[in-house]
Structure 1
């Protein structure tokens, strides 16, 4: 299903719409089921999305507001000094009048209000997609922090094992106290980084739960491991013309067109229909035919907009607004294309880095194996141990960073190209 198809689903099918958006997001980013509940929860509970939906409902109600006739005017008059007429004195007067806009004016107003509501609906789609992107990016940051913590814990365990080797070697004068201290200091450094990562995870978790409108301290389950797929799609992604951020300008352009139609209708005369009723008393001065007969007077009025410069000015303003919207749309399209090209480049760089780090880790493991064999012959050099361990750690952390960058770039490509 394309984005255009998603956008035309009405809000009374809200749950179905959320499922379609989330499924599309997963298909394109290749994420697993663990992220899906969070995306759905964010779409359902995020207050920003709810605010956009309420704004849309308000815009829909506006259609009902403009689709009614002007207020009917009622008036009552009492003659304090009754004017005497041939048929009798006039006592009081009742009047009712209803103005009616020119034919088609109310429909034009309704169409204009409906076009504004459609623009608000596109805003919902844009906000939903942006929310999905934010949730995904935050989630991959959480994954990276947890994965780095596991790597640090493994490296601390490895250093502790080397420390035991160093203590054993110290007893037979094959290592020095400095070697032991260096291994311990290195462990202290890694424990410090581990604690810093824990604080960073708490901050990211709070931000993630805010997007979900959940408790800030709610537990977030992240992947145990992620890998970069073997291949990326061969076809290069493009920014579609029906992207919500571009559709917004199209809908606004259409609304200006509807505003101009309404302006032309407003420039036409308004018709008025009314009725006057005058109560007449019995004539006392003389006897006359129809004495005391009340007066009933139907009326028709017309309001003519003689001074039309106002409507001409509105027409000119609408023309300028449409030109402005076209320029804004073109500029936004260019920005989205630039962002997409950057995201594709970032994903390619992440893949290159991922492959490089895998190769480096393999070679570092070979170096570690050599050091272990040397220990069996009693020739281990703990300076080399620390150097290789630091290389291993950096390669493993860089590998995790490459995975995170790959999936964040993929999420951005999805946002921009579908």
Structure 2
């Protein structure tokens, strides 16, 4: 019964007329073991897999439409996450690492052996013509499990690094966006200042014509106007590289149009330094990825210890035997079947010890890399918190004190100059001071948002709720 079932179940067995129930049972167990996939994986990827598969992601640049130019920052961030090639590469690395788990935990392929006897081996029951055998290598207990652990930890690290790249891309888009905000504000401020100086030049010329002012005032106004127009031209030329920087993060052509941002939120962030640092250390995705790298190195160290133990192989050999030359020989032409067992001899102890030392060195390297990353995270966090706090202080200073005073000073100086009680130099100085303060306030708003973006990149999550107030476009 067993022999009949085996003959029907597997073509290789059909070649061998199994006459022994014991051998038939051994073959059944062996072939069943070859056909099944071992469940040796001990660690599944714990990181959340990306929602998109690699085949669903674009790699080539998309064609821009007119509606693309009017997106908001959040819409551009979503666009970048869907189209940026670095995110695509990170997802591809994760998919590759995840597929390596099954490769690491699978049994080695069975071996099919064929032997042809050039000189037939004469036996009592007949000459042996050829032999066919199949065998299954079996690694030492725990080797496949540890290989699965290594591959799983690497897949965890790759999945977590998808988040690292996504955070980096978000920060890249946001930094470029807020730099464009500053450019747009500065462009409007300098254009308004040019109009102001043009008006001052007309006033100075009128007073000169009436004899109430000197020609030097007109010349000074014209010099100041020329300087502002030159600065405005230089600033205008910055638009192309700024747009190219943002478009590069979006995987768009450098000249693709983008509507310049008009405002930037001023988000108040609780700035307890130790609390922020703790959140960064606890949530930073790259630090989690490095922890998975350490775990993979530890599993590799344990796997290296297993090389000191032998691997085995079990199988069956079928020997084709011809009819006996002597007549009336019992079992004439009977084809024997042999159970085969073999094992490796791990004699190269020096090689295996070197493998252990190499694995231990990798553990030390991964731990040191993780420790260095913590040091860098702490330094970057403290620096970002300082820039955030400093920018917020400057915003308050310019908006509540310096800008109102500068506007008041310019208005008072204009009245005094028109009345002839103040020199034109004071008027130019007041105008120049207002320009400096307006540009500095716009720069502080951009710096505040960029520092907050850096903190959010380090933490891996949004920092604050709603904006407290809005930056004025002016």
TM-score (ref. length: structure 2)? 0.77
Q: Shift of the alpha carbon at 1:285?
A: 4.1
Tell me, in whole angstroms, the C-alpha distance in 2 between the residues paired with 1:374 and 1:97.
104
Shift of 1:324: 3.0
Residues 337 and 263 (structure 1), Cα distance of their counterparts in 2 relative to 1, 3 Å cut: same
Partner in structure 2 of residue 91 of structure 1:
129
Measure how far apart 1:251 and its partner are.
0.7
Give the alignment partner of residue 405 of structure 1, picking from 442, 447, 468: 447
Q: Contact (CA 8 Å) 2:310, 2:345: kept in 1 or not?
A: yes
CA contact (8 A) 2:47 2:156 kept: no
1:348 positional shift: 2.1
What is the match of residue 391 of structure 1?
Answer: 433
Other-structure match for 1:70: 108
Q: Does 1:350 align with 2:391?
A: yes
Q: What stretches of structure 1 of length at least 5 have no aligned partner?
A: 1-6, 16-32
Inter-partner Cα distance in structure 1 for 2:434 and 2:50:
52
Give runs of aligned pairs for residues 5-16 of structure 1, distance below 5 A: 8-12=47-51
Give the 4+ runs in structure 1 shifted more than 6 A.
none
Q: Given the alignment of the two structures, is residue 121 of structure 1 paired with residue 163 of structure 2, yes or no? A: no
Which residue is equivalent to 2:261?
A: 223
What pairs up with 1:262-281 in 2 under 5 angstroms?
A: 262-281=303-322
1:79 alignment partner, SS class: strand
> Counterpart of 1:278 in 2: which secondary structure?
strand
Counterpart in the other structure of 2:409? 367
Q: 1:398 to 1:100 in 2, by over 3 A?
A: same
Q: Deviations over 1:1-57 (max 9, x none)?
A: xxxxxx932213689xxxxxxxxxxxxxxxxx9311111111121111111110111
Alignment of 1:306-325 (within 5 A): 306-325=347-366
- For residues 85 and 164 of structure 1, the distance between their equivalents in structure 2, rounded to whole angstroms, comes to 123
Partner residue in 2 for 1:233 = 270
Deviations 1:340-373 (A, max 9, x none): 1111112222223223333222222112221333
CA distance in 2, matches of 1:252, 1:293: 58
- Assess if the C-alpha contact under 8 Å between 2:171 and 2:457 holds in 1: yes
Q: Which residue of 2 aligns with 1:133?
A: 171
Ranges in structure 2 where 5+ consecutive residues have no aligned partner: 1-45, 55-70, 461-474
Q: Residue 176 of structure 1: CA displacement?
A: 3.1
Q: 1:293 aligned to 2:334?
A: yes
Residues 34, 222 of structure 1: 8 Å contact kept = no
CA RMSD, Structure 1 to Structure 2 (Å): 2.4
Pair 1:57–1:279, CA change in 2 (3 A): same
| Cα deviations by residue, 1:122-152 (Å, 9 ceiling, x for unpaired) | 2222222122222222221111111111000
- Give the stretch that moved more between structures: 253-262 or 175-184: 175-184
Normalised by the size of structure 1, how large is the TM-score? 0.87
Shift of 1:234: 4.9
**2:315·2:341 contact (CA, 8 Å) conserved in 1?**
yes
Range with greater deviation from structure 2 (314-323 or 381-390): 314-323
Residue 221 of structure 1, CA deviation: 2.7
Query: 3-state DSSP class of the match of 2:292?
Result: helix
Cα distance in 2 for residues equivalent to 1:333 and 1:8: 21
Query: Residue in 1 aligned with 2:194?
Result: 156
- C-alpha change, 1:277 and 1:417, in structure 2 (3 Å) is closer
Tell me if the contact between 2:153 and 2:295 (Cα under 8 Å) persists in the aligned partners.
yes
Query: Counterpart of 2:301?
Result: 260
SS of aligned partner of 1:11: coil
After TM superposition, the structure 1 stretch with the greater mean CA deviation from structure 2, 144-153 or 181-190, is 181-190
Aligned residues between the structures: 394
Superimposed CA distance per residue, residues 293-321 of structure 1 (whole angstroms, 9 cap, x where no aligned partner): 22222212222324434333333333333
* Structure 1 counterpart of 2:59: none
Deviations 1:142-201 (A, max 9, x none): 111111110000011111222222232222111233322322222221111111112112
Cα pair distance change 1:228/1:66, threshold 3 Å: closer
Cα contact 1:340–1:417 (8 A) shared by 2? no
Residue 92 to residue 9, structure 1, CA distance change in 2 (3 Å): closer
